[in-house]
Amino acid sequence: MSEAKKESLFSKKNKQLISGPINKTNPVTIQVLGICSALAVTVQMDNALVMGIAVLSVVAIGNVIISSLRNFIPSRIRIIVQLVVAAALVICVDQILKAYVYDVSKQLSVFVGLIITNCIIMGRFEAFALGNKPWPSFLDGIGNGLGYSLVLVVVAFFKEVLGSGTITLPAIGKLTIVPESVYSFGYENNGLMLLPPSSLIIVALYIWVQKSRNPELIDK
């Protein structure tokens, strides 16, 4: 997302829309949204990456749609409209994954469908897209999607290295990170890292590191 920054489209305010959610207003670690999927799909790096891309595209495209329709959406059914847009996009994403990255879609299984219930999406539609023009909304979607993906990938990295001793990347496959010699010294993969609770621990550590680097984020 580092396209030409000289354009006025990327004014300081607009850049903030992308960089903010990655760090200081991160949807997962600061706003604590979308935690559920962060716990579930982070056993392998490739799952986390694909899930991140899926959420990113849904929230970015959805933001643009909602924002372009913002003057036409009847306010009484606006939540339903948002839900329909999110659901339609998620179904499209699910179908595309099934057709082109079948293995990953099998592993993500139900969690792709559950993107609909990801609070980040409805949160951004309602809080940002309904009140802003399409371009800032698009950037906001990208920013939030990236913020979500970043947390997912970081969590998945630690979970996979500590839990299985490997890194799985799309198109590259499984790479063994922990060498065989370490195992012969008695090192064991940590089974807890493969289960959802370990994500909570890693997300908590992430928040700790993030807040100690940005003291203004600490609740008084």
| Contacts with other proteins, residue ranges (CB under 8 A) | 43, 71-77, 80-81, 84-85, 88, 91-92, 95-96, 98-100, 102-103, 109, 163-164, 191, 194-195
Nearer to other proteins, 15 or 174 (CB): 174
- Residue 80: CB minimum distance to other proteins, A: 7
List strand residue ranges (DSSP E) for 122-205, in order: 166-169, 173-176
Least distance to other proteins, CB of residue 111, Å: 11
Question: Rounded to whole angstroms, how far apart are CA atoms 210 and 212?
Answer: 6
| Shortest distance (Å) from residue 70 CB to other proteins | 11
Considering beta carbons, is residue 13 or 76 the nearer one to other proteins? 76
Secondary structure (DSSP) of 17-75 = HHHHHHTTT-TTTTS--SHHHHHHS-SSHHHHHHHHHHHHHHHHHHHHHHHHTTTTS-G
Instruction: Closer to other proteins by CB, 88 or 153: give it.
Output: 88
**Rounded least distance, CB 73 to other proteins, Å:** 7
Specify whether the CB–CB gap between 27 and 34 falls below 8 A: yes
Integer Cα distance of 152 and 49 in angstroms: 7
Rank residues 73 and 153 by Cβ distance to other proteins and give the closer one. 73
